[in-house]
């Protein structure tokens, strides 16, 4: 049969994905967006989707612009305010989409509580676990139904392949594999091999990146050129206690607001030497992005404001470089802000 139906290399990679996430099954797809679209294949006209307000811009665009065209209603609510989020659930809610930590403000969502409320209406709970990785968080153990990853990021870790992944325990979600076979959004065997190679060092990379991110967050916290630091590893962060209860570490992603708004943020980003300005994240190299013009450019200024995406916000993906080198690089860039 065609390799989109299955391939020994892809099967081996899926077995590894299943093992590290603690699931009974896993599916390797051609991109993170392909994984999201595959989940959406369970939706039918009249269904309702409840999505966390803080969500990757690509997810927002898919749900808002395309999924709604099929007669599906989509609501966004702040999943960090669990009672208000739960109040948006309906009898017709078929899918609840969550991220934790969120993109790009690194907020922590109570996955156990969200899953509990969603089950009351029979909704399928899906968690984008890209930022946390299976090393630090396992949503299936917290009561969620499906885990999604942009495998382009941490799972691969080397910025040389695009991929997505879905993991689940309920046999009913085997329909995802059937859908992927039909539409052909599966990766090549070589892409599967690249992902499996990256998975070999996942834990080593993530633990080092998490430790470095904490050191950088502490450096930034209180710096005269910084208005605010978003990182759950800081005791002052609103999600700190929750992160300690559902995660094994705080991750390699952080965000911070530079004084001077857009001009200040662009000055810092353009002054960095070791850290690279790029759209992706989760690789061995440190990458910084400007969400208002990159990952969340498709949102309106008001929508970004509602999500805490300030004009001076920068999102940093910490790589495996020496953390002191990174701190020194960031420090010299911040010195350019007046």
Q: List residues with catalytic annotation.
A: 4, 56, 128, 153
Nearest residue to 8 (alpha-carbon basis) of 128, 188, 141, 172: 188
d(CA 110, CA 191): 33
Element (H, E) at 229: strand 226-230
SS3 at position 13:
helix
Asked whether the beta carbons of 16 and 199 are under 8 A apart, the reply is yes
**Torsion on CA atoms 14, 20, 24, 29, rounded to nearest 10:** -30
If you count them, how many residues does the chain have? 338
**Torsion on CA atoms 126, 248, 203, 7, rounded to nearest 10:** -20
Can you name the residues that pair with 167 across neighbouring β-strands? 26, 147
d(CA 274, CA 325): 8
């Amino acid at each position: 049969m065609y390799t989109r139906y299955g391939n020994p290399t892809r099967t081996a990679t899926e077995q590894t994905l299943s093992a590290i996430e603690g699931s009974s099954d896993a599916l390797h797809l051609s991109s993170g967006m392909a994984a999201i679209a595959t989940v959406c294949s369970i939706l039918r006209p009249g269904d309702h989707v409840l999505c966390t307000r803080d969500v990757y811009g690509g997810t927002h665009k898919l749900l808002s612009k395309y999924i709604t065209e099929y007669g599906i209603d989509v609501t966004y609510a702040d999943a960090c305010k669990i009672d208000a989020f739960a109040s948006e659930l309906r009898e017709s809610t078929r899918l609840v989409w969550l991220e934790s930590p969120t993109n790009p403000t690194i907020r922590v969502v109570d996955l156990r509580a969200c899953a509990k409320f969603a089950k009351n209406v029979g909704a399928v709970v899906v968690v984008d676990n890209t930022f946390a990785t299976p090393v630090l968080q396992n949503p299936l153990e917290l009561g969620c139904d499906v885990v999604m990853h942009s495998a382009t990021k941490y799972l691969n870790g080397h910025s040389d392949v695009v991929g997505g992944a879905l993991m689940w325990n309920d046999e009913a979600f085997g329909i995802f594999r059937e859908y992927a076979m039909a539409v052909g959004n599966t990766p090549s065997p070589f892409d599967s091999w690249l992902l499996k190679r990256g998975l070999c060092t996942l834990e080593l990379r993530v633990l080092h990146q998490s430790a470095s991110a904490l050191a950088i967050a502490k450096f930034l916290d209180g710096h005269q050129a910084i208005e605010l630091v978003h990182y759950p590893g800081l005791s002052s962060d609103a999600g700190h206690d929750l992160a300690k209860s559902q995660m094994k570490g705080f991750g390699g992603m952080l965000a911070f607001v530079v004084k001077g708004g857009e001009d200040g943020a662009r000055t810092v980003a353009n002054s960095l030497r070791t850290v690279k300005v790029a759209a992706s994240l989760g690789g061995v190299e440190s990458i910084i992005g400007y969400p208002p013009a990159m990952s969340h450019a498709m949102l309106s200024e008001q929508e970004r404001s509602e999500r805490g995406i300030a004009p001076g916000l920068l999102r940093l993906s910490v790589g495996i470089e020496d953390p002191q080198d990174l701190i020194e690089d960031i420090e010299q860039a911040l010195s350019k802000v007046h």
